[in-house]
């Protein structure tokens, strides 16, 4: 039988599909949610999920798959949702992703799969299929059933792999290696596994119970997780290589950058990393019921324009600030944060002060921050990254009062493993690793995620973990390096 042409494959109700509006995500009311840590986005209802799935037009050559860094069979799972087969949809997701409930929530879909969905093209479009919202819907449904089928695990190979770091890169790598029958041990420096998913991204965007459920699944597969173990201090990579056949380093980019301006050592000036770790991982929002405090500023300035800055600003509101001002040196168009997060922060009342850069932080006699002196900026010529460079406007100094400052201008790779592993090649602190395999300059050692890419995304880290797992399997099987 000859293959169907695109026209023959196209659903007969194409017009109706195009005319169906993109389903809005129900959310907590902005004024209420700005004062609580519960999840902002509430998830689609079943009728909405079915209506959204119906918007897919069954492209013969679907671009969405290549738009997804881990190549999820997007049309496959969307069509299963349309047919009401949620278990089938979940099974398709599981083929490619370990963390669908996480990625459905935090992936920048608008720059990835949804950016290339054909339904989103053309003048009369009602927007691309809401692939991320459907992914979240299916993953949440599966978790609510509580009976996700256990993954098939190969017979024990007798080989063992140590994973450094339990962020998305390490978790994804561990899952694939455990499936292949290897003994896998994850070493994590913090007291809880999950990496940025637990210490960085706040509860109101990614409930920690979801991350915990995914990690429990991994432990059920036989993966051992040892926390409070700092590789490079507790034991070095070389020492681990004496015990394990291979190592994957997924140590992330948790080293905060500062601007190196006066006043950064004043009390009340935090790196976003410390601020978010205190609030999310250590539960400082519930001090003194939890041991860790955090300054609950009334006038908080957050410096930066990425997801991290947005998370810090929204946490500050939830900790009771009267005013949270986000200071960013470029214009709103250049902000690297996800559009949805910017929109949510605006709705909640964060004040956006664009084209402005801190010059110094001012303090009182007790050494506590009292304000931020800033300069106005304007946009000049595009830099090497294509974004227009901010240029100082002379004489534009001005002051904002602030009793807390959170600096969120970026993170560098965690330096401990590179520093304590002789022969491990690095470039500006990032471990140098081959693209498709994650192979490093040290035999048997692979790396991936933010420690290689610099601060990137959850899905890219997961993809790197999976690529490395394939290469580690081959290395353990053949011994070829
Ligand atoms: P990480 O998640 O950083 O995990 C690394 C782990 O290694 C950590 O647990 C660390 O404690 C551990 N470790 C480090 N050194 C050692 C050592 N020597 N020994 C043992 N363990 C060690 N991405 C998105 O896609 N969408 C978002 O909305 C988004 N929001 C973000 C918000 C914030 C606040 C931050 C900080 C990042 C955000 N990102 C987002 C980026 C994303 O979270 C990261 O790209 C991703 O987590 C990187 O994964 P990873 O596994 O490489 O590293
Ligand atoms: Fe469906 Fe959009 Fe993918 Fe086409 S590109 S298959 S419409 S989700």
Average pLDDT over the chain reads 94
Report which bound ligand comes closest to the CA of 68.
2
The pLDDT of residue 293: 86
State what percent of residues in the chain have pLDDT above 90: 85
**CA-65 nearest atom, ligand 2:** 3
- Quick check: CB of 79 below 6 Å from ligand 2? no
pTM over 0.85: yes
pLDDT per residue as tens digits for the range 78-136:
999 999 999 999 999 999 998 999 999 999 999 999 999 999 987 878 999 999 999 99
Q: Is the pLDDT of residue 335 over 50?
A: yes
Q: How far is the CA of 414 from the centre of ligand 2 (A)?
A: 38
Of the candidates 386, 402, 406, 433, the one whose C-alpha atom is nearest the C-alpha of residue 249 is 433
Sheet strands (E) in 251-368: 255-256, 269-271, 299-303, 323-327, 351-353, 356-363
The pLDDT of residue 8: 61
Q: How far apart (Å, rounded) are the C-alpha atoms in residues 48 and 6?
A: 27
Q: Is the pLDDT of residue 434 over 60?
A: yes
- Quick check: CB of 63 below 6 Å from ligand 2? yes
- Quick check: CB of 361 below 6 Å from ligand 1? no
**Residues 445-454, mean pLDDT to the nearest whole number:** 97
Those residues whose C-beta lies under 8 Å from the C-beta of residue 395, and which sit 6 or more positions away, are none
Report which bound ligand comes closest to the CA of 192.
1
Residue nearest to atom 7 of ligand 2 (CA): 56
- Quick check: CB of 240 below 6 Å from ligand 1? no
pLDDT per residue as tens digits for the range 264-312:
999 999 999 999 999 999 988 888 888 888 888 899 999 999 999 999 9
Q: How far is the CA of 161 from the centre of ligand 1 (A)?
A: 20
Q: How far is the CA of 199 from the centre of ligand 1 (A)?
A: 8
Residue nearest to atom 52 of ligand 1 (CA): 449
Residue nearest to atom 8 of ligand 1 (CA): 195
The pLDDT of residue 1: 46
The pLDDT of residue 138: 98
pLDDT per residue as tens digits for the range 191-212:
999 999 999 999 999 999 999 9
| 445-447 vs 430-431, strand pairing mode | unpaired
Least confident of 14-23, 183-192, 245-254: 14-23
Q: How far is the CA of 169 from the centre of ligand 1 (A)?
A: 8
- Quick check: CB of 73 below 6 Å from ligand 2? no
Q: How far is the CA of 98 from the centre of ligand 1 (A)?
A: 16
The pLDDT of residue 5: 57
**Tokens 């908080």 found at:** 300
- What is the three-class DSSP state of 330? coil
Q: Is the pLDDT of residue 352 over 50?
A: yes
Q: How far is the CA of 94 from the centre of ligand 2 (A)?
A: 19
The burial of 8, by beta-carbon neighbours within 10 Å (0-12 exposed, 13-18 middle, 19 or more buried), is given as exposed
> What do you get for the CA distance between the two ends of the chain, in Å?
46
Helix and strand numbers (H, E) in the chain are: 20, 18
**CA-120 nearest atom, ligand 2:** 2
Q: Is the pLDDT of residue 149 over 90?
A: no
- Structural contact between residues 232 and 416, judged by C-beta atoms closer than 8 angstroms: yes
The pLDDT of residue 44: 98
In the 8-state DSSP scheme, what is residue 123?
T
Mutating to test ligand 1, I would choose from 201, 202, 411 the residue with most ligand atoms within 8 A of its C-beta, which is 201
The pLDDT of residue 4: 57
**CA-416 nearest atom, ligand 1:** 18
**Residues 328-336, mean pLDDT to the nearest whole number:** 92
pLDDT per residue as tens digits for the range 403-432:
999 999 999 999 999 999 999 999 999 999
Q: How far apart (Å, rounded) are the C-alpha atoms in residues 112 and 70?
A: 11
The pLDDT of residue 383: 83
- Quick check: CB of 311 below 6 Å from ligand 1? yes
- Quick check: CB of 64 below 6 Å from ligand 2? yes
**CA-200 nearest atom, ligand 1:** 34
pLDDT per residue as tens digits for the range 306-324:
999 999 999 999 999 999 9
Mutating to test ligand 2, I would choose from 53, 54, 78, 132 the residue with most ligand atoms within 8 A of its C-beta, which is 78
Q: How far apart (Å, rounded) are the C-alpha atoms in residues 249 and 170?
A: 7
- What is the three-class DSSP state of 326? strand
State what percent of residues in the chain have pLDDT above 70: 98
Q: How far is the CA of 12 from the centre of ligand 2 (A)?
A: 16
Q: How far is the CA of 336 from the centre of ligand 2 (A)?
A: 26
Q: Is the pLDDT of residue 7 over 70?
A: no
Report which bound ligand comes closest to the CA of 276.
1
């Amino acid at each position: 039988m000859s293959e169907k042409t695109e026209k023959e494959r196209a659903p007969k109700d194409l017009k109706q599909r195009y005319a169906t509006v993109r389903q809005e995500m129900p959310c907590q009311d902005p004024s209420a949610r700005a004062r609580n840590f519960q999840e902002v986005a509430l998830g689609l209802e079943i009728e909405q999920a079915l209506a959204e799935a119906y918007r897919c037009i069954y492209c013969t050559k679907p671009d969405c798959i290549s738009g997804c860094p881990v190549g999820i069979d997007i049309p496959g799972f969307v069509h299963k949702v349309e047919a009401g087969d949620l278990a089938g949809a979940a099974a398709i997701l599981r083929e490619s992703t370990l963390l669908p409930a996480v990625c459905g929530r935090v992936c920048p879909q608008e720059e990835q799969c949804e950016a290339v969905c054909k339904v989103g093209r053309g003048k009369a479009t009602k927007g691309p299929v809401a692939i991320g919202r459907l992914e979240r819907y299916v993953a949440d449904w599966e978790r609510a059933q509580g009976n996700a089928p256990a993954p098939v695990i190969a017979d024990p190979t007798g080989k063992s792999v140590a994973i450094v770091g339990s962020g998305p890169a390490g978790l994804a790598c561990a899952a694939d290696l455990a499936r292949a029958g290897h003994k896998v041990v994850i070493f994590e420096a913090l007291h809880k596994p999950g990496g940025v998913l637990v210490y960085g991204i706040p509860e109101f965007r990614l409930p920690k119970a979801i991350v915990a459920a995914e990690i429990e699944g991994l432990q059920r597969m036989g993966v051992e997780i040892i926390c409070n173990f700092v590789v490079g201090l507790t034991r070095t990579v070389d020492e681990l290589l004496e015990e394990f056949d291979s190592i994957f380093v997924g140590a992330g980019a948790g080293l905060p950058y500062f601007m190196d301006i006066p006043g950064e050592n004043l009390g009340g000036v935090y790196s976003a990393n410390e601020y978010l770790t205190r609030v999310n991982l250590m539960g400082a929002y519930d001090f003194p019921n939890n041991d860790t405090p955090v300054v609950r500023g009334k006038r908080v300035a957050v410096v930066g324009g990425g997801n991290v800055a947005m998370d810090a600003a929204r946490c500050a509101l939830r900790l009771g600030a009267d005013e949270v001002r986000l200071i960013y040196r470029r214009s709103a168009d250049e902000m690297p944060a996800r559009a949805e997060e910017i929109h949510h922060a605006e709705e909640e009342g964060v004040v956006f002060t664009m084209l402005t850069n801190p010059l110094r932080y001012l303090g009182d006699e007790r050494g506590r921050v009292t304000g931020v002196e800033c300069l106005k900026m304007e946009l000049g010529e595009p830099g090497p990254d294509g974004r227009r460079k901010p240029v100082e406007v002379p004489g534009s100094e001005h002051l904002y009062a602030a009793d807390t400052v959170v600096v969120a201008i970026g993170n560098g790779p965690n330096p401990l493993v590179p520093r304590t592993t002789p022969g491990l090649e690095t470039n500006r602190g990032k471990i140098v690793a081959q693209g498709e395999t994650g192979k490093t300059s040290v035999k048997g050692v692979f790396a991936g995620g933010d420690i290689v890419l610099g601060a990137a995304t959850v899905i890219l880290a997961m993809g790197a973990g999976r690529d490395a797992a394939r290469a580690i399997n081959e290395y353990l099987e053949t011994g070829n390096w």
